Amino acid sequence: MQFDPLSLEFQRNPYPAYDQLRAATPILYLESRHTWFLTAYEDVFALLPDRRLGRALPPGMTRDALGLPALREDYKPFYKLGEHSLFDKEPPDHTRLRSLVHKVFTPRRVEGLRQHIQQITDNLLDSVQSQGRMDILADFATPLPVTVIAELLGVPEEDRHRLRPWSHDIVAMYELDHTEEQGRRAVLAAVEFSDYLRDLSRRRKQAPEDDLISALAAVEEAGDQLTEDELISTCVLLLNAGHEATVNVIGNGMLALLKHPDQRRKLRDHPELVNTAVEEMMRYDTPLQLFRRWVREDFEYKGCQFKKGMELALMFGAANRDPARFVNPGAFDVTREPNPHISFGNGVHYCLGAPLARLELQIAIGTLLRRMPELELDGEPEYRSAYVIRGLKALHVTF
């Protein structure tokens, strides 16, 4: 079959293509992209924690040896964020960084945010309640997690409007392809955000406050601390990962609810189902469709020869719709249990912010349906022109 992950038709709705691809050739090598694409749940779940794969380039291999273009000199500020981020590290470096971050970004700290997240949620809905209409993305889904992560980090209120644009420009570089303009904007965002965090972290070192930046600046384990560059990269990662997916789960998930009125009624009438509903939203229309890995040593897998230096694309969106793992996977079911979706990953790179994302989503979805039970779709929404990070441009509703 013809598989083009950059086509607009595919990006609007990749799921029929996934079904065809999974049935025909669940492990596909695409010569044009020098990448293996894997669509079956069994394979994606098994290979995510496989230590023969990694986020970093294979040891001892250069981009030149892999036939890849050299890193651009003008992109250095963007690359620097990855060089010091646990997102792109492998053990033992990843283990060290994650251990330090986990000492302060704890489940207890997250649970302590519950009442505050509820207050932010109510304030956002208060501001639109009398209008009878809103854009769920602009008025609710975007400001909620941005505000939460900004307050968690300790970013002053007057600076928070800068966070979403910075994050949006940086994560655009994780698509399969990007334009020159996107590259330029990502570099500018990396410079501005890094400079801002460097100044803020230094001020917090001098005068600590009850926030995550202060805690990260002070955290120590066995005499080890985060370097300034590691602290900056960690804060950028927490912002990007801590809100980007949450925004899109709220948008994609509410669209699914609005297009399945029987499920919306069920959730509205049984609010205790919100936890399973949130898990189903993450499975049904996955916000992060693909996660890449480098092959770090030669090995054979199901008859395929994975050579050191090759790249694998583990397709979360396809795995989450695999009929071999999920009953009636194309159905949206807010009561689905069990629901072993892999939207948060698997293995050492399992999402550090999963508890915070779940808490935000449960409060956001539950409160939205309780306060606006008569929500109706206002026009047909469009997905953004992107594949890896799947989300809507807008979601207009009346209530």
Give the C-alpha separation, 117 to 178, whole Å: 34
pLDDT, residue 148, reads: 95
Determine phi and psi for 300, rounding to 5 degrees.
Answer: -105, 140
What amino acid is encoded at 294 in this protein? W
Give the C-alpha separation, 44 to 217, whole Å: 36
Give the C-alpha separation, 261 to 245, whole Å: 24
Q: What is the mean pLDDT of residues 67-78?
A: 87
Q: What would the CATH number be for the domain defined by 8-398?
A: 1.10.630.10
pLDDT, residue 222, reads: 77
What amino acid is encoded at 307 in this protein? K
225 touches 100 (CB < 8 A) = yes
Q: What is the mean pLDDT of residues 229-235?
A: 96
146 touches 243 (CB < 8 A) = yes
SS3 211: coil
pLDDT, residue 184, reads: 96
For 103-142, the pLDDT digits (tens) are 999 988 999 999 999 999 999 999 999 999 999 999 999 9
Percent of the chain whose predicted confidence (pLDDT) is above 70: 100
Helices 354-371, 261-269: axis angle to 10 degrees equals 90
DSSP string, 280-323: HHHHHT-SB-EEEEEE-S-EEETTEEE-TT-EEEEEHHHHTT-T
For 192-230, the pLDDT digits (tens) are 999 999 999 999 999 999 999 999 999 988 789 999 999
Q: Given pLDDT bands bounded at 50, 70 and 90, which one contains residue 69?
A: confident
Instruction: Kindly state the tokens that stand for 236.
Output: 């950028």
CA distances from 24 to 3, 39, 299 (A): 12, 10, 23
Domain ranges of the chain: 8-398
Tell me the whole-structure pTM to 2 decimals. 0.94
pLDDT, residue 1, reads: 62
Percent of the chain whose predicted confidence (pLDDT) is above 90: 85
